[in-house]
Structure 1
Amino acid sequence: MTQRFFDDGTIAYLEQNGCTVVQADLPEGQADGNLSHDELTGALAGAAGWIVGHARVTRELMAALPALEVISRRGVGYDRVDLQAAADLGKVVCIAAGGNDASVADHTIALMLAVGHRFRETQANMVAGNWAILIGRDLFRQTVGIVGLGRIGRSLVQRLSGFDVDILVVDNKRDETFAAANGVAYVDLETLLRESDYVSIHAPLTAETRFMFNAETIAKMKKGAVLINAARGGLVDDRALLDALKSGHLAGAGLDTFLSESDPQTKAVTEELIRLPNVIATPHAAASTREGLDRTNLVAAQCVVAVLDGLTPPAACVVADGRKSAALERN
């Protein structure tokens, strides 16, 4: 395991299922996404299973680890894993589907409320001795646009029901039964941008969705709207977002992910964004509650045990399975 914050219950589960558990000794404040190729190969030498956080799982890395059978992400994103290489090399890649949906949906609501009610600006003023009241905005009876109605998007819909909002959704797949039961209206992206007071992104990062929120699309958002991104940094061109916030086109933003996570050259943009008084920022921490981490730890561990026992994890957890192609090659 190269991720921090692993609970004793999940370690016991792995040991009870015949695994020898080795935790990487990471310095305080360091995540596995900062480990080099050599550090990873050294830590993973001889390992059959790997529970990973944010490390880049490249073809070169997997080729250097012939004993490695399963890579299990403690999370649901897999844009840092070369899935084709995993399949080619006979590896299985899993995600902890369902483990952190509730935590991220809760965090999203928190970002909406914090931006709308101007918590950061108000507290900063109070610390400076200025107790003047800043006028915020309700989430109640607003229009909320959700881009991506997967597990987290659906959890968000359930939480929004108590705010009596109108919900607009953009998703390639339409679940009309869910929509009818939850008062959701499927629309095109342009309609969602034009009509939503809050826009929350919950789409995966792919070649097609990268920078789906750019200067052009952000300009189409309702003036005074709030943008929430608790999905992936590359979905939003943070440079365009910064311009829209500074110009006043957008009222604020709640950000848990940033472009600089994958593109260090944009670090200065991130630093300017998080200094803005109308931005509430967290360091990709939406899923990091005690309960959420315990759930995702266990799902990730269950996937490892299933693969090492020659079984197949739940379909929602498997994003690449190279075992069939490897068996064919052996034959």
Structure 2
Amino acid sequence: MVAQIVRQGSASFSGVRPLNPSRDLAQVTLLLEEAFRQDLSALHAWARVPVLRNIGAALTATAFMPVSTDNLRGFVYEQDGRIIGNVTLTLDDQRSARWMISNVAVTEKFRRRGLARQLMQAAIDEARARNARWLILNVRPWNDSAQRLYKALGFEAVDTETQYVRARAHTFEETALPLRRLRVAEYRAAYQLALDSVSELLREFRPPLKADFALRWEDRLSERTLDFFAMQSTERWGWFQGDTLTATMTLHAQKLGTPHKLELYVSPQARGSVERGLVAAALKRLAAFPQRDIHTRALMGHSELVSALTDAGFSATRGLTLMYKNFRY
């Protein structure tokens, strides 16, 4: 199927057309406000929305066209001068020819009429025309209708990453793993363990970031500077089987009022045997800092870690399912 796209709009036009930033941004922002209000609030990004709306109004009034880029494309569904649907296509990684679809939104009154499918098809056709190898997107795991649409268009699920929060008052009776602080020379092994702990597709699309493991001296300097000004303590701990690093814990312990942050990785060979002890060790270490809520995240594919977090009092808050489409030329 090829989406039918009209290049020149008119007052009576109804259908999919390319985004015109100078004309469309104000209406698109209103649409995104409606579609993603809850997500924007959770990300504390709600205050930015009126700014974008005002910028869009200014562009419309002045007929100013921002500089276009080959790395960013968008399509809207217009009906009689009103924008009721939107999709954005961006170049996610030039080396691997990977593009990303985002901001798929349709006004509630016009949903379940095939508009989202037409917008998605326009984005897919555009990516194919630009010789994309991969096309990825994120979707809420509870959005069954969107997932059905994406699967019908050839997308497959990679994994779901869920964010968890643990309230301050909760007990977890479990023996902690005997961790020790990692030396700088062991940071690279911790990074390799993180890579090994995720699937091949996740390593392709969303690998752990090297900067998060402070492999370079400039990353370590930046981390220490942030720790000083944010009044937090970043620590990396590991559990070894013999000389082999088998599980890691990175914590960003807060000394002010913000939540603690926790990152946990387990080697594939140790899955199912260390997760509860690793979580217990993290809670034991964080007990040395002021009591705060604790934020962490886990992949649904790592069911043993999800179970350990749940038993330790963590509650799932938000999640995203990563999906992909492979163009085979």
Q: What's the TM-score once normalised by structure 2's chain length?
A: 0.29
Higher-helix-fraction structure: 1
Larger Rg: 2
Q: What's the TM-score once normalised by structure 1's chain length?
A: 0.29
